[in-house]
Amino acid sequence: MTSPDNHVAIIGAGPAGLMAAEVLAQGGIRVTVYDAMPSAGRKFLMAGRGGLNLTHSEPLPQFMARYREAAPKLHAAIAAFPPDALRTWSEALGEPTFIGTSGRVFPKAFKASPLLRAWLRRLDAAGVRFAFRHRWIGWDDEGRLAFQTIDGTKAVTADATVLALGGASWPRLGSDGGWASILADRGIAISPLRPANSGFTVSWSDVFRARFEGQPLKGIALSFGLHRLRGEAVVTQSGIEGGVIYALSAELREAIAVKHEAVLHVALRPDIDQLELARRLSAPRGKQSLSNFLRKAVQLSPVAVGLLQEATINAGQSLSTMSPERLAEFINAVPIKLTGVAPIARAISSAGGISFDELDADYMIRKLPGVFAAGEMLDWEAPTGGYLLQSSFATGAAAGRGALEWLKRYLPSLRASSSQ
């Protein structure tokens, strides 16, 4: 039997840690959530700035496929707390959700703060305690959890621990991946943390960068290898980012790791076929500048024309001497050479983390009995679309259930044997 005297330390007050806290508190366990930051859920609040894409409405088999090779590992946790359960949970906290045109699920308030506030109120009412400005730095010589606080180092004992320390993107929001070396020193296999849903670097010319930094390329299609995706991208100071780039980021990152570069092809008018484009481009240009002609004939935005010019110059060609047919072809296959991956600090999420081989089915780290792990610190990655939060919530709940079961099953006997 568990008792309110059992104390579980949860480290990390993001979606995964808070969900583990909810499950454990409901199970009658005394829970303290520790976090290095002065308040909870900073990355969750940041996700709310984009509307808070909580999850996705597609059928579970398609949904699971987004987790790529980690799908079989995550299946049980997500099946136990699937997208519909997450929507019901949000609604119960006073934040009903809706399905957007793309199938993505958002709270009607389209932000995270009301949901987080209601959640923290619920956890408070369930007796969950919070200790902020507590940076976990490992275990001390007596096996106690060690935290750096404003009053110096503090040691904490716990019957079980849930680590929910996040990945390494946007470190100013709290998750900096500092936990990786602590666990690696304990012999835990950790796949290196790498940018996921990230931008890429491109060697733009000074002219292009100065004129088009921050400009969106709307309604484009990107091709890379066998992948072709439609969406939007944004020109940045050092390269390119945005939804359609993020969606291809795992493939692009792996290609760059091998070849040190990757070439994307952008279709600027994917909705118009070659023949029609060529027909429109055959119209007499008269005295119009090429930019004006392209804008009027095929509705290319200034940044799209700029990209075309940038690519032709790089290829040693000239747009004004291209035949309508060649230009039509080029408009729907503009090459962009990616020279590197943008820093992890700017990525939406991280790939890599604690290897699933280190975990048992209850999300306990086998080499560290009584220590559970959840959320983005585990070795999975997924595109944007609600998959990141869904998996963080679901694995947080699974680790919470795991810790609860562990306390029930093993703690009484451990206590009995240590008191003999």
Ligand X SMILES: Cc1cc2nc3c(=O)[nH]c(=O)nc-3n(C[C@H](O)[C@H](O)[C@H](O)COP(=O)(O)OP(=O)(O)OC[C@H]3O[C@@H](n4cnc5c(N)ncnc54)[C@H](O)[C@@H]3O)c2cc1C
Examine residue 75 and tell whether it contacts ligand X (CB under 6 A).
Answer: no
Kindly list the distances between the CA atom of residue 100 and the CA atoms of 27, 103, 399, in Å, as whole numbers in the listed order: 35, 5, 30
**Residue of 44, 173, 189 whose CA lies nearest to 120:** 44
Question: Minimum distance from CB of 159 to ligand X (Å)?
Answer: 19
Pairing status of strand 145-149 against strand 152-156: antiparallel
Judged by CB under 6 A, the stretch of 42-50, 58-66, 238-246, 412-420 that binds ligand X is 42-50
- Spell out, one character per residue from 315 to 354, where the chain touches ligand X: x when CB under 6 A holds, - when not: ---------------------------------xx-----
Question: Minimum distance from CB of 28 to ligand X (Å)?
Answer: 23
Cα gap 47→66, rounded to integer Å: 19
Residues in the chain, total: 420
- Note whether 163 and 21 are within 8 A (CB): no
Question: Minimum distance from CB of 209 to ligand X (Å)?
Answer: 23
Cα gap 379→315, rounded to integer Å: 40
Judged by CB under 6 A, the stretch of 117-125, 172-180, 249-257, 317-325 that binds ligand X is 172-180
Examine residue 44 and tell whether it contacts ligand X (CB under 6 A).
Answer: yes
**Residue of 172, 195, 295, 321 whose CA lies nearest to 246:** 195
**Strand order across the 160-163 sheet:** 129-131, 30-34, 7-11, 160-163, 371-373
**Structure tokens, 120:** 């923290």
Q: Tell me how crowded residue 178 is: count the other CB atoms within 10 A of its CB.
A: 15
- The strand pairing partners of 31, in sequence order, are 8
Question: Minimum distance from CB of 291 to ligand X (Å)?
Answer: 34
Binds ligand X by CB under 6 A, chosen from 2, 6, 175, 236 = 175
Cα gap 361→8, rounded to integer Å: 19
Give the number of residues in contact with ligand X, rule: CB under 6 A. 39
Binds ligand X by CB under 6 A, chosen from 7, 33, 34, 298 = 34
Please say which residue, 330 or 387, places its beta carbon nearer to ligand X.
Answer: 387
Question: Minimum distance from CB of 268 to ligand X (Å)?
Answer: 27
Please say which residue, 136 or 330, places its beta carbon nearer to ligand X.
Answer: 136
Residue 160 backbone phi and psi in degrees, to 5: -150, 160
Examine residue 15 and tell whether it contacts ligand X (CB under 6 A).
Answer: yes
Examine residue 119 and tell whether it contacts ligand X (CB under 6 A).
Answer: no
Judged by CB under 6 A, the stretch of 14-22, 123-131, 279-287, 351-359 that binds ligand X is 14-22
The beta-strand segments (E) located in 40-111 are 55-56, 97-99, 104-107
Question: Minimum distance from CB of 86 to ligand X (Å)?
Answer: 10
**Structure tokens, 212:** 């088009």
Binds ligand X by CB under 6 A, chosen from 9, 29, 37, 145 = 37
- Spell out, one character per residue from 358 to 387, where the chain touches ligand X: x when CB under 6 A holds, - when not: -----------------xx---------xx
Cα gap 90→166, rounded to integer Å: 21
Please say which residue, 188 or 319, places its beta carbon nearer to ligand X.
Answer: 188
Question: Minimum distance from CB of 156 to ligand X (Å)?
Answer: 12
Cα gap 28→23, rounded to integer Å: 9
Query: Site residues (CB under 6 A) for ligand X?
Result: 11-17, 34-37, 42-44, 46-47, 50, 52-53, 135-136, 164-166, 169-170, 174-175, 178-179, 348-349, 375-376, 386-389, 392
